[in-house]
């Protein structure tokens, strides 16, 4: 084993080594690399569990040199998906960069260990997320969904994608943190809106037909295309009343008789009550915000979440993150 001590990070050498290593293994055209499979080609892979062995609770992985170019690599099996692939790549980097052969790794100072780990990280970034392929894969404007897509393509963690975007000057890390903050705020607003609707429905403040009113379209004569009271849609030409329940099919002003839109509680022309509001089918304007929430919910798919006992935990609007299997607890910020 050599007795050299690292003096500076060899960035160019680490990048060149990663590109050459990809070519050697004929991975030049690959995006998402299975680094676990690769490391088995250069070392004996063993796993440990930080949850079961407190001595390794802070370890993600490490490499032992057996001499004569042979290695044992230990990786924490409790690592989350993406982070584990990065760790396999990181330990591969130590081997390919010959850190154990060139340096006395067991007797280095903390800063010298940092230098070697930094070289390994630079290697791993280029190894798992080659600059040319990564730049081509990024779609702007950047969103949380786009980050998740990149994470899945290159089989790495959120943090690895964020760091790569930052180091390649594609998108600064501070702005990415803001994206996650905005996402959480938006998600919380939606959850609050749905909770408000759920409470209102529980109290009987919103009935099924009230939801239907929000969906009602008017024809060219300002007549309902669906009866707000019974849901009937079969009207004869020229009919003014529903043949099923007798409701007047126009939301007219009770004073000036002007036709109004379906959700009008008061006439837009004279300010008096409309027929739907007078009949109690439309609720007071104090609930206008609630109706807007309902209208949003009616136009989008809702996701319900339950605990193991079947108790309702959350009701929220489905987003693209659900298809990408994004979990809030896994997000980096």
The encoded tokens of residue 230 equal: 């019974």
Q: Which residue has the tokens 């659900």?
A: 322
Backbone angles phi, psi at 214, to 5 degrees: -65, -25
- Are 96 and 17 a contacting pair, CB within 8 Å? yes
Q: Which residues contact 269 (CB under 8 A, 6 or more apart)?
A: 253, 256, 258, 260
CA distances from 49 to 63, 81, 92 (A): 16, 15, 20
Angle at 257 between CA 256 and CA 259, to 5 degrees: 120
- 1-128 CATH, one of 1.10.287, 2.40.50, 1.20.1280, 1.10.10: 1.10.10
C-alpha 100/C-alpha 64 separation (Å) is 8
Burial of 174 (0-12, 13-18, 19+ CB in 10 A): exposed
Q: Which strand (E) or helix (H) includes residue 317? A: strand 312-317
Annotated domain spans of the chain: 1-128, 131-209, 287-323
Instruction: Give 10-residue mean pLDDT values along the chain (333 residues).
Output: 81 96 86 92 91 79 92 92 94 96 92 96 97 94 88 92 95 86 66 56 49 62 85 88 91 93 87 89 59 49 58 56 61 67
- In DSSP terms, which residues pair with 76 in a beta bridge? 48
The encoded tokens of residue 70 equal: 């042979």
User: 61-67 and 44-48: which strand pairing?
Assistant: unpaired
CA distances from 328 to 6, 145, 172, 319 (A): 40, 13, 22, 13
**CA of residue 312 relative to chain centroid, distance:** 22
What's the confidence (pLDDT) of residue 50? Answer: 79
C-alpha 35/C-alpha 96 separation (Å) is 13
The encoded tokens of residue 96 equal: 């390919």
């Amino acid at each position: 084993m050599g007795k050299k001590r690292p003096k500076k990070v060899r960035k160019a050498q680490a990048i060149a080594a990663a590109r050459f290593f990809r070519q050697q293994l004929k991975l030049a055209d690959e995006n998402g690399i299975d680094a676990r499979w690769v490391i088995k080609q250069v070392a004996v892979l063993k796993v440990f569990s930080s949850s079961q062995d407190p001595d390794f609770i802070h370890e993600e992985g490490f490499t032992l040199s057996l001499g004569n170019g042979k290695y044992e690599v230990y990786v924490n099996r409790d690592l989350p998906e993406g982070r584990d692939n990065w760790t396999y790549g990181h330990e591969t980097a130590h081997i390919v960069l010959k850190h154990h052969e060139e340096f006395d790794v067991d007797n280095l100072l903390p800063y010298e260990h940092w230098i070697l780990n930094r070289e390994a990280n630079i290697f791993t970034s280029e190894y798992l997320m080659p600059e040319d392929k990564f730049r081509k894969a990024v779609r702007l404007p950047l969103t949380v969904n786009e980050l998740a897509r990149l994470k899945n393509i290159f089989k790495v963690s959120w943090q690895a994608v964020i760091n790569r975007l930052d180091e390649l000057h594609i998108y600064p890390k501070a702005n990415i943190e803001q994206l996650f903050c905005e996402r959480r705020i938006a998600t919380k607003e939606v959850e609050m809106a749905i909770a408000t609707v759920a409470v209102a429905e529980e109290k009987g403040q919103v009935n099924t037909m009230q939801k239907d009113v929000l969906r009602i379209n008017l024809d060219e004569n300002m007549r309902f295309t669906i009866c707000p009271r019974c849901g009937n849609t079969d009207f004869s030409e020229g009919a003014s009343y529903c043949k099923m329940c007798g409701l007047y099919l126009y939301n007219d002003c009770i004073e000036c008789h002007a036709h109004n839109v379906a959700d009008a509680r008061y006439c837009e022309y004279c300010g008096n009550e409309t027929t739907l509001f007078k009949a109690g089918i439309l609720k007071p304007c104090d609930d206008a915000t609630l109706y807007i929430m309902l209208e949003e919910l009616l136009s989008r798919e809702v996701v319900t979440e339950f605990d193991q006992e079947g108790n309702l935990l959350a009701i929220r609007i489905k987003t693209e993150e659900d298809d990408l299997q994004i979990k809030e607890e896994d997000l980096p910020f």
